[in-house]
Chains A and B, each alone.
Chain A
Amino acid sequence: MKHFWVQQRITFLVFTVISLLILAGCYLFSITLSKTSFASGTILLLCIFFLASYQLRKKISFLPLGSSAAWLRFHIFIGFLSFVVFALHSRLQIPNGLLEVILFLTYYIVFLSGIFGWFLSRTIPYRLLSRGEEVLFERIPMHRNKIHDRVKTLIFDDAQPEQGAALPDFYHKHLQEFFEGPRHQISHILHSERHLHQLKQKISALQPFLDEQEQVRLQQIAEQIQLKDDLDYQYIFQAIIKLWLFVHVPLTYSLIIFSLYHALAACAFASTSG
């Protein structure tokens, strides 16, 4: 852990020094009345290319190109550095052309989604470990169906003809929707168990009206409710960590296309832009 903090401090120091060097370089360049946009734009384009290359690195992980973890650290470093260069390049102003506005927004979305992803990758593993069984994302629907089948068996298959309809009624009223698919995503994200608490209260309220055998079954159903809720918890967080990449990666490619177009246009009109 001590090593980790030392590494973080060194990284921060290097980042600060490089950022200051870039800012100083641009300032010195500008006082010669030269245009700094080309220099900052070129650095920014290189940064974007490097950032995008991490996706390629992931595809060719069998080549000895260094560990993915080292690449990710560098990816984050360059990502933050690109923000400094972008701020310099755009002068922290919203541009006025349509393409530039799109480019501006795309960069910000990619940058912010990157920070969001970084935050998710550091928080979600802890949350996934805090509740429920570790289940592969692709297998969650299968497990959910199994739980649902078990509950239906408990309520319907073993029901004796002389027994009342308390459990089936309860199922149709309160459980059917809950077991049919992933539920209470927002509550899970907010780390709230209010829905579970409410369901348990309903179970407690029903209990005095059941005979001994039905009470045993209700208890077993309550266990399945807990399992299903834990599965939903796993599902939503695994889904979030997979889904954010569907924003970050496609928009990165869009950003590259817009940036190249922007660079070509800037070069083409360089002589007339003053």
Chain B
Amino acid sequence: MSEPSISRPRRWDKPFSLEPGSEDEMTDTAVEILLGKPPFSEIDPAGFKRSLPLHDIIKNDARIIGFDDGDIVVRRGDWGNSAFFILSGNVRVGLERGKPTLPDEILGRHDNKVKTLWESFAQLWRNHSVPEVRKLDSVFSKSELKTRHAHNSTRIYLQEVSAVLDKYHTARLDAGHWFGELAALGRTSRVATVFSEGVSQLLEIRWQGIRDILRHDQNGKLKQYIEDAFRERALAAFLRTTPLFHDCQPELMQRIVDQVEFHTFGNYDSPKPFKDLIENQDHTTEGGEPVIIREGDYPSGIVMIRSGLARISQRHYNGRRTVGYLSPGQIFGLDEIRAEVQSLTPVGCSTQLSAIGHLNAVLVPTALVEELLKQNGSVGAADLHEVKTHVSDSGSNSVKINDDTLLSQLVDQNFVQGTSLMVIDLERCTRCDDCVRACSTAHDNNPRFIRHGPILNQYMVPNSCLHCVDPICMIECPTGAIFRDFAQGDIIINEQTCIGCAQCASNCPFDAIRMVDIRDSKGNIIVDSKTRSPLTQATKCDLCIDQKGGPACERACPHDALFRVDMQDAAQVGEAFSR
């Protein structure tokens, strides 16, 4: 068997400035100029490791890009993988206050490229007979959007900026400002569209670069900046996602924004808390999880989850029983404060709230919540019930299912992270493996999951990607090969940039990512030219992103035994587990 040789890719083999869309390669001179100006001049380079100096981070994980009038820099809803710093010119940020946001059509939003009917059908005979064949010379498909070519890249742009400014509410950001850092670091979608007003020059930094700077910057200025930015720009909008704050008066909202406290539990950068949780099943709420509000205590405010997950538990005999959990946007402590407002007697929490792994939460102080309830006129029993129903209807209440044991297992094993958790009901499954076969056909004869995994009551959770709400597999990826799909938010692995380092596979606590030896179209294993060892790449479930009907496994199950569930969606979870 011949062995085509190829050099194993390494981190920074392809600097960010050499990726499509960049103007020029980042030079040492450009880096030196940047490091001499704020905010980079305020970062102490001495804190950085020798193997990972600040200079190299800026050189390889950052790029300078120019934008013309109307060029869209980031779009609302896209998943953030980088942050921006305005070097010159200014940009406009689309705001929602009272006016419609920029519509999808003018943002050039489009659906994912899916296989045509013929291409789908042709999989029956075009699929390779050998496993894990890669087209190494493949390039990204060209965009079919209405775009223009400028600054060495293709850009989506707004045709008449002045008309857009008149019609839609926007805010101006000048040179020296950051934007996009919250989405990039929070691994969330962009909350606003940003476009260039006139000609501007921006520094774009991959989130891996920002993460490294935050890790080693001993002054902590950038960290403080990010926290301040969240309070200033996103906190009000974040609070308004909860119905309780919908009708909040501007003056009170401003006071809430000023007085809200940020709390963080666990380590942002490390996947370890999740690993610990999975490996050490003895970690109950009493043992391993930091308690946010104790059972019996009167809450010092309502806790609103910003990122991560929280467990709601209750004393049961001599232990604790999980009765629900909270996902981002959900709140805890409202019932007790409301009861106190009604009876004027503090009522202790009947349940306890603790953080699962890493958690970011905001705490709205009790006094402000009481004021808000009074202002909303929700003090009467009937009104209070209305608020509660309103909160429940919007899915902002905690996630609960009838079976406490199952719920506890789902939380303990951290399956509540899944936005597309694959579950097989073993009381219906005939073990026919049609799901695995369908997955295999949809992925060039390489199934992307194994019908084997932990069994919780009658439900099996197979070793398949959960598409976690906070995908820790992405944390350590040095090249950004594992990323969120811009349109759907699904987690995808880019075969062109995966260097086979296995960081994602080792970080995944669910064993849902496999490392495979890759082959060329003739079936030969591709080997590294230096080490002579086979080249490996990471593979996992991609929710059949390029297939016409979505996940093939789900549709292939003859007995409706296999289903996917978004564990953040309270209504869906309740329905799925009570079929």
Contacts and interface: CB of A to CB of B under 8 A. Distances in A.
B547 interface: yes
B426 interface: yes
Given A69-B560, A71-B558, A129-B458, A62 B549 contact: yes
B455 A64 contact: no
B559 interface: yes
A241 B432 contact: yes
B121 interface: yes
B426 A134 contact: yes
A238 B561 CA distance: 16
A63 B557 contact: no
Interface residues of B, number: 35
B430 A61 contact: no
B55 interface: no
A79 to B, nearest CB: 14
Nearest to A68: B558
B451 A136 contact: yes
A125 B556 CA distance: 17
Contacts of A58: 434, 556, 558
Interface in B440-481: 441-442, 451-452, 455, 458, 460
Nearest to A123: B430
Contacts of A62: 120, 123, 438, 441-442, 544, 547-549, 552
A128 B434 contact: no
B559 A64 contact: no
B428 interface: yes
Which range holds the interface residue count of chain A?
Answer: 20 to 34
B434 A61 contact: yes
Nearest to B555: A67
Give the secondary structure class of A's interface: helix
Interface in A58-77: 58-69, 71-72
B120 to A, nearest CB: 6
A64 B548 contact: yes
Given A68-B557, A69-B557, A134-B426, A128 B431 contact: yes
Contacts of A129: 426-427, 458
A61 B556 contact: yes
Interface in B391-428: 426-428
Interface string A68-101: 1101100000000000000000000000000000
B121 A60 contact: yes
Contacts of B121: 60, 63
Nearest to A58: B434
Given A60-B121, A63-B117, A69-B559, A241 B548 contact: no
B455 A134 contact: yes
Contacts of A59: 124, 441
B235 interface: no
B429 interface: yes
Given A61-B441, A68-B555, A134 B460 contact: yes
Interface string B101-133: 000000000000000010011011000000000
A209 interface: no
Contacts of A242: 432
A241 B121 CA distance: 29
A228 to B, nearest CB: 20
B432 A128 contact: no
A134 B452 contact: yes
Nearest to B457: A129
Interface in A97-132: 120-121, 124-126, 128-129
Interface of A: 58-69, 71-72, 120-121, 124-126, 128-129, 134, 136-137, 238, 241-242
Interface of B: 117, 120-121, 123-124, 426-432, 434, 437-438, 441-442, 451-452, 455, 458, 460, 544, 547-549, 552, 554-561
